[in-house]
Amino acid sequence: MLDIKFVRENPELVKENIKKKFQDHKLNLVDEVIELDTKNRTTKLRGDELRSQRNSLSSEIGILMKNGEKDKAEAIKKQVSNINAELVENEKLEASLALEIKEKMMKIPNIIHESVPIGENDSKNVEVEKFGEPVVPNYEIPYHADIMESFSGIDLDSARRVAGNGFYYLMGDIARLHSSVISYARDFMINKGFTYCVPPFMIRSDVVTGVMSFEEMDAMMYKIEGEDLYLIGTSEHSMIGKFKDQILQKSSLPYTMTSYSPCFRKEKGSHGIEERGIYRIHQFEKQEMIVVCEPEQSYEWYNKMCSYTVELFRNLDIPVRTLECCSGDLADLKAKSVDVEAWSPRQQKYFEVGSCSNLTDAQSRRLGIRIKGEKGNYYAHTLNNTVVAPPRMLIALLENNYNEDGSISIPKALQPYMGGKEKLEKQKIS
- Cα–Cα distances in angstroms (integers) from residue 310 to residues 66, 317, 321, 322, 353, in the given order: 80, 11, 8, 8, 11
DSSP string, 162-212: HH-TT--EE-HHHHHHHHHHHHHHHHHHHHTTPEEE---SEE-HHHHHHHS
Neighbours of 57 (CB within 10 A): 14
| Segments of the chain with pLDDT less than 50 | 269-270, 272, 429-430
Look up residue 197 and give its amino acid.
Answer: C
- Contact, 174 vs 154, CB < 8 A? yes
Question: Would the pTM count as exceeding 0.85?
Answer: yes
- In this prediction, residue 263 carries a pLDDT of 95
| Residues β-bridged to residue 409 | 423
Q: What is the dihedral of CA 189, 267, 125, 336, to 10 degrees?
A: -50
- In this prediction, residue 179 carries a pLDDT of 96
Sign for the CA dihedral angle at 20, 26, 31, 37 comes to: negative
- In this prediction, residue 243 carries a pLDDT of 98
Residues 144 and 358: their CA atoms lie apart, in Å, by 32
Residues 294 and 253: their CA atoms lie apart, in Å, by 7
- Cα–Cα distances in angstroms (integers) from residue 14 to residues 11, 20, 111, 299, 318, in the given order: 5, 10, 7, 21, 41
- Contact, 103 vs 209, CB < 8 A? no
Eight-state DSSP code of residue 228: S
- Contact, 202 vs 222, CB < 8 A? no
- Cα–Cα distances in angstroms (integers) from residue 152 to residues 162, 174, 291, 333, in the given order: 19, 8, 39, 42
- In this prediction, residue 359 carries a pLDDT of 98
Nearest by Cα to 401 from 141, 194, 161, 169: 141
Residues 235 and 150: their CA atoms lie apart, in Å, by 32
- 3-state DSSP percent of the chain in helix, strand and coil, to 5: 45, 20, 35
- Cα–Cα distances in angstroms (integers) from residue 382 to residues 202, 207, 263, 295, in the given order: 20, 14, 20, 9
- Contact, 363 vs 240, CB < 8 A? yes
pLDDT, the chain, mean: 93
Residues 6+ apart with CB under 8 A from 1: 102, 105, 106, 108, 110, 362, 365, 366
Nearest by Cα to 234 from 217, 254, 246: 217
Domains and CATH numbers, the chain: 4-105 (1.10.287.40), 122-424 (3.30.930.10)
